[in-house]
Amino acid sequence: MAASAGGAILADATQGVAALRPARKPLHPRGEVLDGRLYRHGSDETTGVAWLDEPGEDDAVVRRSRALGLPRSLPDIHGLAVRVRAGKGDDGDILFATTGLGRVTRFFLTAARSPSSRPMTTLLPYDTDAGALLLAADGGPERYELSWARASGEWHHFGVLLLSRRTEESEISFDPLMHQIEGLRQYPSVRRLRSPAYVRARRSRADTDTDTTTEENHHVH
């Protein structure tokens, strides 16, 4: 019930932002999309999630953005959206936002002027065979150290994300509910919390696209 209520609040907040600042995306309206490469060396402690435990390499598409789209001179919550290219249609999306790394601060969004001045976490835990896990990305702007931790445990380094040139996939839409890495499941409560806001965000994009098309057709005729 708490997650459902929280989801409604987040959805209303998303709609409110869209009303105050009309844009194709109510949150993270502007950003840059880059190609990346993810190098995983494995974890010093087993989680049961192969992607965390085993060495490997993945192509990635990454979007860096500011959540509210405030002027760069003002602090904002920074986001790092990562699409891991697993192949065979099994891509996985991971969303990071500026927080802290402490046992409490890892669960609280934190505004900053620069995305490199604060670490980022997934904020909400994943459901895994080893229990609840959070992921973290620390560093930037071209190199991020990746770690995982239990809800109140120590961080364990498992890989590095390197960013390169801008990609042509500027219209990519990230959704961690639809695109999950095997073994990193979304809790039902997290789905209830996130899903309404995602629906509102997609509706806002559709409405904006419709308005833009209508305006273009009006000018044409």
CA distance 73 to 192: 35
pLDDT tens series, the chain, 221 aa: 433 332 332 333 333 433 434 444 545 456 789 999 999 999 999 999 999 999 999 999 999 988 877 777 888 889 999 999 976 667 999 999 999 999 999 999 999 888 788 999 999 999 999 999 999 999 988 999 999 999 889 999 999 999 988 876 667 888 888 899 999 999 998 888 766 555 454 554 444 444 434 444 444 44
CA distance 214 to 48: 51
The verdict on residue 124 lying in a domain is yes
Contact between residue 56 and residue 40 where contact means Cβ atoms under 8 Å apart: yes
Closest Cα to residue 14, out of 210, 194, 209? 194
Q: Is residue 110 included in any domain, yes or no? A: yes
pTM over 0.85: no
Q: How many independent structural domains does the chain possess?
A: 1
Dihedral, CA of residue 105, residue 184, residue 67 and residue 78, to nearest 10: 60
Q: How many CA atoms lie within 13 A of 116 on its CB side?
A: 6
CATH no. for residue 94?
Answer: 2.40.180.10
Residue 80 domain-assigned (yes or no): yes
123 and 107 Cβ atoms separated by less than 8 Å = yes
At CA 101, angle to CA 85 and CA 44, rounded to 5? Answer: 60
